[in-house]
Chains A and B, each alone.
Chain A
């Protein structure tokens, strides 16, 4: 809103007075200053983020093995063909998709529920928010090790079950169990962030709107269904997709919680790239896998931007 009025005002403002030689020189200098102020950021960003992405695209089309002595040989889309032919890598991609989709749904479900419970600002709720959020400040690597120590065969939970006379639960040793244990740990650690977003979103709902609905006799569920949820819609879509993007890169927790096992049942794409393909010097293949992840993240990112733009336009028309 504000930026638009500003730009239109800038366009309306009178053009600078006619140029003399001196002001021309000053203008060149001003432009040079501007560029020199932008240059460092562009340099760092392009050098270490954009160029590597381009490298990934390039290497994905070669058979490079990473040794400086080998010149990368162009092999076309062979790496991608290999990825889509190998059941192993396909399974990894499906698994990454499941973790991202199911994980972000669960994270958002938990976050929205907690946000509704902790909506009012008082001491107890502030304490609750802090407790719900704290796992996020821990490194996912540490979180994974901690839960591995708790849920492992000799961990606290199974010890407790033994005391109660029950058998061990295979949290990390059964392929299916391990996958859902990992998703559960991710949800435990990550939903605090989305909780903060939903709390911010809830604050933007006008109190009069809720009050009016209440006076009209709406019960709690109706209030949520027809006032709160529609108002939170844009927040929710963006929160689900952004958490999906961040879960696509799941890596640290795999390293520390399961090591990709048992039998590759928790091997995500990021883990496959960094811990399998790269150490085995299959740079071409690893790059092709990276390219697929970058494309998936880009698709999700453009969805966020498009939705956000639509939401902004919707807000302006109200």
Chain B
């Protein structure tokens, strides 16, 4: 009995280990080929030769004319922060009121928001253009922030409402007895208690915003001169897809920040996802 258990466990571990290796092969290829010239990429893509490895191609990609990587990072980080500020800023008060008021109207509003979770956002990008044009925000950074934030509002509001309902009502009552207004109670008492759910929402929104391609591509457009990491990659890699000395280093530069953040925060990313999904 004991013996079969160890054998099956050893089998399981070697099987999972092999699968892990297979999952990592594309990443390995991406890294080693970022340091080679076209000739050695084509003739020996799997080879890792430290003697001939050179950072030249990474430096070239960093300084590329089509896609200035630091600028792309800057715009994308700015987007992540602005979208989260708008989304969390508008959702926290709304979720607070919805969670605390038993009125049927607010329950209906919550349902109305939940329905939005299932709107395929990239598909409504075309009509969004006409709305943003009407507001004079088409092709601008604030327009993109507003649209991306609106896309995150349903989910954010939904999980916030669920979380606030679990917080004791006595807290609010004590605060209002002491003469605190609702906004003061929200931002000074309730919001600090929402840290775990805010962190979850921040991480999931950040992942979504960082990786989105369709929205910045359509809303910012080529005329604005603004590009994110994804649209920058599209501009430079799409154009030179046969020149692997451009493709691999550019892709590597595009994924390094998000991968590093993920490795450092993997526990929070994955548990946040599980919490968000079981709630949603």
For B20, B97, B150, the residue with the greatest tally of chain A CB atoms inside 10 Å of its CB is: B150
Kindly provide the distance from the CB of A122 to the nearest chain B CB, expressed in whole angstroms.
10
Known: A45-B154, A278-B126, A290-B126. A52 touches B131 (CB 8 A): yes
Kindly provide the distance from the CB of B43 to the nearest chain A CB, expressed in whole angstroms.
7
Binds B, one of A16-24, A85-93, A137-145, A175-183: A137-145
Interface pair A38/B181, CB less than 8 Å apart: no
Interface pair B277/A138, CB less than 8 Å apart: no
A-contact 0/1 string along B139-175, CB 8 Å cutoff: 0000000110111011001000000011000000000
Kindly state whether residue B193 has any CB partner on chain A within 8 Å: no
Known: A37-B93, A53-B119, A56-B124. A45 touches B153 (CB 8 A): yes
Kindly state whether residue B255 has any CB partner on chain A within 8 Å: yes
Q: Which residues of B contact A129 (CB under 8 A)?
A: 270
Interface pair B233/A131, CB less than 8 Å apart: no
Interface pair B122/A193, CB less than 8 Å apart: no
CA distance A294 to B119 in the complex (A): 6
Within 8 A of B (CB), among A285-310: 286-287, 290, 293-294, 297-298, 300-301
Kindly provide the distance from the CB of B58 to the nearest chain A CB, expressed in whole angstroms.
16
Interface pair A274/B125, CB less than 8 Å apart: yes
Q: Which residues of A contact B121 (CB under 8 A)?
A: 49
CA distance A195 to B101 in the complex (A): 37
Kindly state whether residue B259 has any CB partner on chain A within 8 Å: yes
Q: Which residues of B contact A71 (CB under 8 A)?
A: none
Count chain A residues whose beta carbon lies closer than 8 angstroms to a beta carbon of B. Answer: 86
Kindly state whether residue B225 has any CB partner on chain A within 8 Å: no
Interface pair B149/A145, CB less than 8 Å apart: no
Kindly provide the distance from the CB of A112 to the nearest chain B CB, expressed in whole angstroms.
14
Q: Which of B113, B211, B266 contacts A130 (CB 8 A)?
A: B266
Interface pair B213/A156, CB less than 8 Å apart: no
Kindly state whether residue B238 has any CB partner on chain A within 8 Å: yes
Interface pair B124/A196, CB less than 8 Å apart: no
Interface pair B126/A283, CB less than 8 Å apart: yes
Q: Which residue of the partner chain B has the closest CB to A289? A: B123
Interface pair A55/B130, CB less than 8 Å apart: yes
B-contact 0/1 string along A134-167, CB 8 Å cutoff: 1101111110011111100011100110000000
Interface pair A117/B149, CB less than 8 Å apart: no
Interface pair B165/A3, CB less than 8 Å apart: yes
Interface pair B213/A139, CB less than 8 Å apart: yes
Interface pair A135/B123, CB less than 8 Å apart: no
Q: Which residues of A contact B230 (CB under 8 A)?
A: 139, 141-142, 252
Kindly provide the distance from the CB of A132 to the nearest chain B CB, expressed in whole angstroms.
6
Kindly provide the distance from the CB of B158 to the nearest chain A CB, expressed in whole angstroms.
11
Interface pair B122/A139, CB less than 8 Å apart: no
Interface pair A48/B118, CB less than 8 Å apart: no
Count chain B residues whose beta carbon lies closer than 8 angstroms to a beta carbon of A. Answer: 95
Q: Which residues of B contact A156 (CB under 8 A)?
A: 29, 33, 45-46
Kindly state whether residue A205 has any CB partner on chain B within 8 Å: no
Interface pair B113/A45, CB less than 8 Å apart: yes
Interface pair A146/B119, CB less than 8 Å apart: no
Interface pair B30/A146, CB less than 8 Å apart: yes
Interface pair A249/B123, CB less than 8 Å apart: yes
Known: A37-B97, A138-B255. A159 touches B15 (CB 8 A): no
Interface pair B26/A48, CB less than 8 Å apart: no
Q: Which residue of the partner chain A has the closest CB to B91? A: A41
CA distance A304 to B269 in the complex (A): 24
CA distance A149 to B242 in the complex (A): 8
Q: Which residues of A contact B98 (CB under 8 A)?
A: 38
CA distance A98 to B274 in the complex (A): 27
A interface residues (Cβ-Cβ under 8 A, vs B):
2-3, 6-7, 10-11, 30, 33-34, 37-38, 40-45, 47-53, 55-56, 59, 114, 117-118, 124-125, 127-135, 137-142, 145-150, 154-156, 159-160, 188, 193, 196-197, 199-200, 242, 245, 248-249, 251-252, 255-256, 270, 273-274, 278, 283, 286-287, 290, 293-294, 297-298, 300-301
B interface residues (Cβ-Cβ under 8 A, vs A):
12-13, 15-16, 19-20, 23-24, 26-27, 29-30, 33, 42-46, 86, 89-91, 93-94, 96-98, 101-102, 106, 109, 113, 115-128, 130-132, 146-147, 149-151, 153-154, 157, 165-166, 181-183, 186, 207, 210-214, 218, 229-230, 233-234, 237-238, 241-242, 244, 247-248, 251, 254-255, 258-259, 262-263, 266, 269-270, 273-274, 277-278
| A-B interface, 10 closest residue pairs, ranked by CB to CB distance from nearest | A55-B127, A301-B118, A156-B45, A41-B94, A48-B150, A37-B93, A139-B211, A52-B127, A200-B274, A40-B90
Q: Can you list 24 A-B contacts (CB < 8 A)?
A: A37-B183, A38-B109, A45-B116, A45-B150, A48-B146, A51-B131, A53-B124, A56-B124, A114-B16, A125-B16, A130-B266, A135-B26, A138-B211, A139-B233, A149-B247, A149-B248, A156-B45, A159-B43, A193-B273, A197-B273, A197-B277, A242-B277, A251-B122, A274-B126
